[in-house]
Amino acid sequence: MTALTDLATAVGTGHVEVIDLTAPLHSDTPILQLPQQFGQTEPFQLHEISRYDDRGPAWYWNNITTGEHTGTHFDAPVHWVTGRDGDDVAAIAPSRLIGPAAVVDHAAESAADPDFLLEVEHLEAWQAEHGPLPSGGWLLYRTGWDARADDPDAFANADANGPHTPGISPTCARWIAEQTDLLGLGVETVGTDAGAAPTFEPPFPCHAELARSGKYGLTSLRNLDRLPPTGAVVIAAPLPIVGGSGSPARVLALVERDS
Ligand code: MN
């Protein structure tokens, strides 16, 4: 297995850089807020059990409470009604948690228009330049939104009409589901759908199409600007919550450097 020996050596020397695509997880980590008639997810919280005190003189530990879909997290197919017979997050084969990354960069368009939507033409143009989207790989959609991730209001970017965050058009979501062999889609925003997606026809098309086709979602990613358009390998590691619809995940990218 020289490939693995070579990989370990390359990580040690920095020839392969490990880039963390994960947002820190804390009580202010932005979470999705749905219209008030719906059930709501809870923020991440630590609940101290003991800290070198009467409750445990030599040890520090916490309980945690969190929604499954908090911070950088993984959407399993069963998250959406269109994938209700699909895999829960614990059922996903571990070999499907690692794959090559295709990075599309629309940060400039998203800065100019926070409601920017990725279209099929954008992906066709990317493929014309970089080759086909990778079978068994991740499509990572850079919008620059991670720069807002420490400010929940700027991250949600909501007004009286709801949130304004970039996403994917219904046609493009269907195209990804039906015309690609991707593992799934990763985004920098709080969810895979655009902020305005509740008003789309159909609503939440990205969730619906990814789940219908057995594909996965990754959200609240960071540092996509440090990845090349092709050549990175992504490891997305959700907790194996039995029956879970998703999980906070540690998402790492391996990138080969020249030096
Ligand atoms: Mn989610």
Torsion of CA 128, 209, 151, 140, to 10 degrees: -30
What was the pLDDT predicted at 36? 87
Is 79 an active-site residue? yes
* Separation of CA 2 and ligand 1 centre (Å): 37
* Residues of the chain below pLDDT 70: 1, 259
Query: pTM for the full model?
Result: 0.96
CA of 199 to the centre of ligand 1 (A): 18
Reduced to 3 states, what is the DSSP secondary structure of residue 50? strand
- Token pair recorded at residue 92: 């996903």
How far apart are alpha carbons 126 and 137 in whole angstroms? Answer: 15
pLDDT of amino acid 187: 98
Report CA 128 to chain centroid distance, whole Å.
25
Question: Domain residues of the chain, as ranges?
Answer: 16-24+68-256
Q: Show the beta-strand stretches assigned E in the chain.
A: 16-20, 45-53, 56-65, 73-75, 98-105, 117-118, 138-142, 158-159, 162-163, 167-168, 184-187, 216-219, 233-238, 246-256
Count CB neighbours of 135 within 10 A. Answer: 11
CA distance 102 to 99: 10
Q: Find the catalytic residue in 69, 73, 79, 106.
A: 79
Q: How far is the CA of 85 from the centre of ligand 1 (A)?
A: 17
Check residue 258 and give its pLDDT.
82
Which class is domain 16-24+68-256? alpha beta
d(CA 20, CA 235): 10
Say what the pLDDT of residue 34 is: 86
State the distance from the centre of ligand 1 to the C-alpha of 194, rounded, in angstroms. 13
Determine the pLDDT at residue 184.
Answer: 98
Say how many Å lie between the CA of residue 69 and the centre of ligand 1: 4
Give the model's pLDDT for residue 259.
Answer: 62
Q: Which helix (H) or strand (E) holds 176?
A: helix 170-179
CA dihedral 213, 115, 39, 147 (to 10 degrees): 100
* C-beta separation of 248 from 219 below 8 A: no
